Amino acid sequence: MSPPEFAVVGHPNKGKSSIVSTLACDDSVQVAPTPGTTVICRRFPMRVDGETLYILIDTPGFQRARRVLAWMKQREGDASKRHQVVRQFVTAHHNSGQFSDECELLTPLVEGAGILYVIDGSRPYGGEYEAEMEILRWTGQPSMALINLIGSGDHIEGWKAALGQYFKIVRVFNALTAEFDKRLELLRAFGQLKEEWREPLDKAVASLEADRANRRLLSARAIAEMLVDMLAFKVSKRLASEGDAKVYETQLMNQYRDKLRMREQECRDAVQAIYDYHSLQREESAFKLVDQDLFSEHTWSFWGLSTTQLLATGAVSGAVLGTGADVALGGASLMAGAVLGSVIGGTSAWFSAKRIAHVRLFGIPLGGKEARVGPSRNPNFPYVVLGRALFHHACVASRTHARRDALILGEMAELTSTKAIPNELRRRLERSFVQARRGAGSGKAFRLVDELTDAIGTAIGEHGLA
């Protein structure tokens, strides 16, 4: 059995290509305000391991619907012959040039494609749509009307009343803001159009859900790798004398920060690629909040932990270190290490909260000194980085491929802030951060990445931080 096909049809400039772009996760689709951008049908097969489950077809819009309908009415027989008249129309005008758009959009319909009729619910209904809806009815194909919302107006009710006369199923679907779940819901609705289409559509939905979960996991790994790299990162320079430390301090600090910024950028690129955004780079200025400098004061106060959380987190890392001492003493310390560690950790977290890293001097065995910046001991640092990464991920994951505009940042920023991470999860993260700061040796860094991937995956998946 051939896979179900769905032709997205309608008036020009009502968001057909946007809907296709969103459902196919394809940002290569040309979405423009100029009518007639789509001139020939473009197919978007949904394939799982090479098996095509359904095909979306982007079509040009109706340009001369009344003339087409007039031609058909002249040849009208009884209702059972109408779909043949549509076929005759396509055959008769295929190469005429006068109805090239109509022939192009009707061809998949006469070949059995389902109809997804798209209108813009932000603009009022008008009589000019009736001819095209009538033509679609003549095709006799299973159909559904989608009310897309391009502008800010609300004419949905008027549209529903009109569409209800031509289509059994009428749904509102905003191509620009549709969450992933809404997209799946729509696909399930496609399956309701025809009994034999249900199975492949259900299978497609299940595959898309699994694929989404996998993308989340890959993103979590990219973020975890970045965190481990950034936490252990340091730059150093050999000095001829101790006095040179002052000379190179600014240079070293800038080098340290630049490298970290670059690493963060790499992670963002990776996450965008995971979600198939290949041209988003050019629009990155849209990420205003995320684009603020990693080291700006605003960034730290926005993304970092609160003072209370910092104290608690510092206590956890201190306790982790203290417990190590307890273990080394075979428990003879009666867990005093853990208690003392948590007190010291909490206190040092309080005092070092505003300093990312500083230049330190080390002696070199064969003489001379080495100035070193990093790894950052600031307890807030990984949370700032993580918060920004989670937010960036949330922006990318929730964005539809139809969007060509800047990102709108709303409440999501608060949701993805690390302040919203539940205590238990934060404790898990902190344990890994402590290990990473120590500079994980051979092999351990990779286990840390695995642990952090797991924790970040939980933050993204279960706690809805993205």
Partner 1 sequence: MLADLINLQQQLKDDSSLSESERHRRDREIAKRFRGKLRDFTGQLRYWLCAVCGDKTESNGHRADLARRLIGLVLLVLGMLTGWGAAMALFDYDGTDPVNVVNILAILVLAQIMLLLLFAFAILPGGLVRRVPGARTLQAVIGLLNPGHLQSLLARLLAQRHREALSGWLGWGKAHSTLFGRVHKWMGLLWSQQFAVAFNLGALIGCVHLIIFSDLAFGWSTTLNVEGAFFHRIVSSLALPWASWFQEAVPSRELVEGSKYFRFKQGVGIQTPEDLKMQAQFLGGWWSFLLACLFTYGLLPRLVTLALAWWRLRAAIDFALLHVPGAVQLLNRMNQAMVETQATEPEVRARQVLVPRPRMSPQGLVGGPGYVVNWAGLAMEQDVIQDLLWQQLALETKALLNAGGSASLDEDQRTIARLSKTPNNQPIVLLVKSWEPPLLEFLDFVQDLRLAIGPRRILRVVPVGLADDASATPQDFEVWRNKLTTLGDPWVEVQALYRT
Q: Which residues contribute to the site for partner 1 (CB under 8 A)?
A: 11-13, 23-26, 28-30, 33-40, 42-50, 61-67, 70, 101, 123-124, 126-128, 130-131, 151, 153, 207-208, 210-211, 214, 218, 221, 273, 276, 324, 328, 440-446
Taking the complex as a whole, the smallest distance from the CB of residue 232 to partner 1 amounts, in Å, to: 9
> Based on CB atoms, which residue is closest to partner 1, 18 or 417?
18
Q: Dihedral of CA 219/221/224/230: which sign?
A: negative
* Structure-token match 């970040």, residue found: 456
Whole-number Cα distances in Å, 261 to 258, 291, 388, 389, 441: 5, 10, 12, 12, 24
3-state secondary structure of 288: helix
> Based on CB atoms, which residue is closest to partner 1, 404 or 419?
404
Q: Which residues contact 258 (CB under 8 A, 6 or more apart)?
A: none
> Based on CB atoms, which residue is closest to partner 1, 46 or 407?
46
Based on the number of CB atoms within 10 Å of its own CB, is 160 exposed (0-12), middle (13-18) or buried (19 or more)?
Answer: middle
Taking the complex as a whole, the smallest distance from the CB of residue 433 to partner 1 amounts, in Å, to: 17
Extended strands (E) in 182-322: 235-239
Taking the complex as a whole, the smallest distance from the CB of residue 292 to partner 1 amounts, in Å, to: 30
Taking the complex as a whole, the smallest distance from the CB of residue 424 to partner 1 amounts, in Å, to: 26
Cα separation of 211 and 171, whole Å?
25
> Based on CB atoms, which residue is closest to partner 1, 26 or 289?
26
Taking the complex as a whole, the smallest distance from the CB of residue 243 to partner 1 amounts, in Å, to: 30
Q: Which residues contact 358 (CB under 8 A, 6 or more apart)?
A: 373
- Four-point Cα dihedral 189, 190, 193, 197, nearest 10: -120
Taking the complex as a whole, the smallest distance from the CB of residue 415 to partner 1 amounts, in Å, to: 27
Least Cα distance to 283 among 437, 436, 407, 171 occurs for: 407
Other CB atoms closer than 10 Å to residue 193's CB: what's the count?
Answer: 20
Q: Which residues contact 66 (CB under 8 A, 6 or more apart)?
A: 131
> Based on CB atoms, which residue is closest to partner 1, 133 or 170?
133
Taking the complex as a whole, the smallest distance from the CB of residue 290 to partner 1 amounts, in Å, to: 24
Taking the complex as a whole, the smallest distance from the CB of residue 327 to partner 1 amounts, in Å, to: 10
Backbone angles phi, psi at 171, to 5 degrees: -130, 150
Other CB atoms closer than 10 Å to residue 84's CB: what's the count?
Answer: 14
> Based on CB atoms, which residue is closest to partner 1, 128 or 462?
128
Taking the complex as a whole, the smallest distance from the CB of residue 127 to partner 1 amounts, in Å, to: 3
Cα separation of 206 and 62, whole Å?
34
Based on the number of CB atoms within 10 Å of its own CB, is 72 exposed (0-12), middle (13-18) or buried (19 or more)?
Answer: middle
Based on the number of CB atoms within 10 Å of its own CB, is 124 exposed (0-12), middle (13-18) or buried (19 or more)?
Answer: exposed
> Based on CB atoms, which residue is closest to partner 1, 245 or 270?
270
Strand order in the sheet with 359-363: 235-239, 369-373, 359-363
Taking the complex as a whole, the smallest distance from the CB of residue 36 to partner 1 amounts, in Å, to: 5
